[in-house]
Structure 1
Amino acid sequence: MVTATRANDPASRDKANGERGMANRKTANANSNSSAAARPSRVTARSSRLLLWGLLLVTCPALIGFAANWAIGTHSRAASSKVAQGDGVHGPQGMAWVPGGEFLMGSDAKMAQANERPAHKVRVHGFWMDEHHVTNAEFRKFVEATGYVTTAEKKPDWETIKVQAPPGTPRAPDSVLVPGAMVFVGTDGPVSLEDFSRWWRYVPGADWRHPAGPQSSIAGKDDHPVVQVSYEDAEAYAKWAGKRLPTEAEWEFAARGGLTQATYAWGDKFAPDGKQMANVWQGQQARPFPVMSAKAGGAVGTSRVGSFPANAYGLSDMTGNAWQWVADWYRADQFRREASTTSVIDNPAGPSDAWDPADPGVPVAAPKRVTRGGSFLCNEDYCLSYRPSARRGTDPYNSMSHLGFRLVMDKDTWEHSNERRQAASADAQPRS
């Protein structure tokens, strides 16, 4: 997750212990596309046991293996001001200003899952946000400048991984703990949607440069979201860039783009006037999830950032394309806890620990960070996470082929950095 070192970049919980606990990047929150958050767990006790052992086979044969024509609908925009985009002088380059304000977070709509309920009043302060996901090209600059090695490129640490496994799980031998990541492989035909191990695999050699495995490449995809990055990878990049991951509240406020309780980030109709509004399975793939189209050569994946209309704040792909890490620890009951107070919650930073009773075979208190936005795999039959209120918890050490991130910057941070830049520029000027 976010802050941590190999013990887990993730952020606080207990930076050392908790971070270490953020493990099993492979254990798999392979709920990956379908999130425990996006759909109540469909994995039966039997399939859960099979999955656990299947993952152990992948882990112990490799590791504990393991989501304008702008339709506003009937909702009003809370903000109709002109989009403010940073230009490097009046704001950070490549970021858009999100004005902040009070809004209803979560949802009580029919399709909302238990972890999205109830809708409750929250206030966030204004901030700058990346206009799109961090791209492959941007991440490459970071790696070239720092020599950073991502989680997926390192040999897994059993102490980090085991916190995501049931107590008593036997230790995997070092020989099978090999670098790699979770990859969506799809199926040849329709299958039961109760066992996600059928379409997800832990693939040795998969990483951000090779998102689908060692034979794959990101050549020609510089402007696609970087994926196969863990929470700790996102945190490391954020520190280098002088930014931070958004809180869950900031993310949802930004994703809504000023719309009040709209079903989607663009309104209430999935495809207004027949127009596709996001890179999700529904409307993009000819065959039902998770069947890979032979005609398309199995080519499902991310799309170029900005391929779909930006919202009222100038933010592209807030839902769809790739899931996004956010800073908060994940608790399935967090919204109920926040709604227990009658006052508006000001700038919430999330809970101090993780709790998820809906993930079969994983300890309820296993470290998880919130991921938001859904991905190119989300669909109406299995995963409806391309909604602003949809949320799920993900092992901070999990790297997956549909999971990336974008960052934010506080107003004060920008102003201070800009002042330093201007001072440095003035000092560099020749004196007469």
Structure 2
Amino acid sequence: MPPATGTADSAIHVVGGKSFVGTNAPVVLVDGEGPERAVTLYDFALEATTVTNARFAGFAAATGYVTEAERFGWSAVFSNERESVDRSADSGSHLPWWQQIEGASWRHPEGPGSSLNGRMDHPVVQVSWNDAYAFARWVGGRLPSEAEWEHAARGGPVRKRFPWGDDEPDDANIFCNIWQGRFPDLNTERDGYALTAPVRSFEPNALGFYCMSGNVWEWTHDAFRVRSISKLAKQRNARALQGEEKVLKGGSFLCHFSYCYRYRIAARMAMTPDSAGSNTGFRVAYDLPAQVHEPASG
């Protein structure tokens, strides 16, 4: 018989207390990165890495779970092939490098013909918020709040732009998996990856968390709200109150300084909870006490 519940992965005990979320030096104003807001957090545990394809495969096999992308029959996939980009641009798309691909799912991240071969230790992608929530419950956890995610990424209540500090990643200084070269036409892959990287790639932050900048966007529990009185903010917040948008953090392998400078800790993005993409994953948090955490290493 398959197990009724899954098991937690290596998670790190994060000390809470007085902290903050956001920044007083926002870059992408429309995303509501600021102002910085004080918060008080309970201690919590957070998995050191995003959930892998191997773990998600175990979940699907044990429970028979079918993701929303599988049920819809399609999902969003990045493509910089000139013909596809031009066709999407001609149809009025503001993001013409994103394509609706029939058959794309976590099992086939880029659509039919793609597979998980050689990527079982990579982050699972093409999972919606609802899919991530279901997995987290299966292992006895939950999705982290935005404030918890930022607190863990910074290594506590310290002000830094990235998990490793304030040094900007570029083609010579490789700290994470982001786009190198000229977006969206040329990716030099100086970091070693055209798409996702294994979840334990690059150096972990001070607490032992891996890839909290770049690689894949990570779902959080929170509804997406913008603290502003602008008309756009009011529209975004109305959607959030209806449960139509959730916060994602961390940026992805597609982020570039010139296009999506959202691999900063305070950066954020919104998507509807049934949305998925080839650069979207998650990691699991736990309330304490929980017998899942171990000291940070490395």
TM-score by length of 2: 0.83
Kept after mapping to 1: 8 A contact 2:20/2:147:
no
Q: 1:255 to 1:180 in 2, by over 3 A?
A: same
2:211 aligned with 1:317? yes
Structure 2: how far apart are the matches of 1:269 and 1:95?
Answer: 27
- Give 1:221's aligned residue: 119
Structure 2: how far apart are the matches of 1:276 and 1:295?
Answer: 11
Q: Compute the displacement of 1:364 (Å).
A: 8.1
- Give 2:56's aligned residue: 139
Q: 1:230 to 1:93 in 2, by over 3 A?
A: closer
2:6 aligned with 1:96? no
Q: Compute the displacement of 1:261 (Å).
A: 2.1
Worse overlay, 402-411 or 106-115: 106-115
2:125 aligned with 1:211? no
Q: Compute the displacement of 1:300 (Å).
A: 2.4
- Give 2:225's aligned residue: 331
Which amino acid in structure 1 is aligned with residue 107 of structure 2?
R
Gap runs ≥5 in structure 1:
1-87, 156-178, 338-354, 419-432
Q: Compute the displacement of 1:94 (Å).
A: 0.8
Structure 1: how far apart are the matches of 2:140 and 2:149?
Answer: 18
**Of 398, 403, 425, which aligns to 2:280?**
403
**Aligned residue pairs: how many?**
275
- Give 1:113's aligned residue: 29
Kept after mapping to 1: 8 A contact 2:240/2:246:
no
Higher strand share: 2
Q: Compute the displacement of 1:195 (Å).
A: 4.8
2:157 aligned with 1:241? no
Gap runs ≥5 in structure 2:
1-6, 294-298
Q: CA offsets per residue over residues 363-406 of structure 1, 9 Å max, x none?
A: 78660011111000111111111011011211111110000000
The residue correspondences of 1:18-167 to structure 2 (distance < 5 A) are 93-109=9-25, 111-114=27-30, 115-155=32-72
Kept after mapping to 2: 8 A contact 1:329/1:370:
yes
Which amino acid in structure 2 is aligned with residue 237 of structure 1?
F
Matched residue of 1:238: which SS? helix
2:153 aligned with 1:255? yes
CA-atom RMSD in angstroms? 3.1
Matched residue of 1:116: which SS? coil
Structure 2: how far apart are the matches of 1:270 and 1:214?
Answer: 36
- Give 1:80's aligned residue: none
Kept after mapping to 1: 8 A contact 2:223/2:241:
no
Which amino acid in structure 2 is aligned with residue 113 of structure 1?
L
Kept after mapping to 2: 8 A contact 1:187/1:292:
no
Looking at CA atoms only, which structure, 1 or 2, has the larger radius of gyration?
A: 1
Residue identity (%): 39
Q: Compute the displacement of 1:101 (Å).
A: 2.3
Which amino acid in structure 1 is aligned with residue 55 of structure 2?
E
Kept after mapping to 2: 8 A contact 1:104/1:261:
no
